[in-house]
Amino acid sequence: MASIARQSPLLRQSCLSAFRAPWASKNAAGVSQVVAFHASANKQILPPLPQSIQGTMNDPAPIPHSHPVHGSYHWTFERLVSASLVPLCIAPFAAGSVSPVMDAVICSAIVVHSHIGFDASITDYFPVRRVPKTAAFMKWLLRAFTLGTAVGLYEFETNDVGVTEAIRRVWKA
């Protein structure tokens, strides 16, 4: 029992060495003081964005202008597009028919769904009040990629076999 007690610090040290950073400083006993996955805030990956406060602490928060596109209609439209993708993606394979109209509807729903999702991500991660130029650039980049995706899917639908037939061929390969 005494030999196990003496080996336990060595065993613990050897097991934890896998989680210790190789550059970590060591104390007098030779045990590293900093582990690789520590939670200190000494070095941040990215520095915080510049922040400024406009007005005083007693000023009310500005109320955004109401617009039906940015309210509950927008939320309902997002959910309808997302929910419609499930039957649209299952129908061609369950029914066994390949229709160019069905492919066009599926491609349109995928493009709209992707655009809405990436737009929400850009809005969350690049707020206009903090990084206006980056937010505008990212919005235009999203529009360019959305247009490129739509044109690519259109070309694939008109000049090749189409999305559902391509998926069917890959699935059976």
Binding-site annotation, residues for a ubiquinone: 125
User: In the block, which residue shows the tokens 């229709």?
Assistant: 99
CA distance 50 to 3: 58
CB-count burial class (<10 Å; 0-12, 13-18, 19+) for 164: buried
CA distance 10 to 7: 5
C-alpha 33, offset from chain centre = 35
CA distance 159 to 106: 17
CA distance 149 to 2: 69
Q: Helices marked H in 70-131 — which ranges?
A: 72-95, 100-125
Q: Which residues are annotated as a binding site for heme b?
A: 113
DSSP class of 129: T
CA distance 135 to 126: 5
Q: Which residues are annotated as a binding site?
A: 113, 125
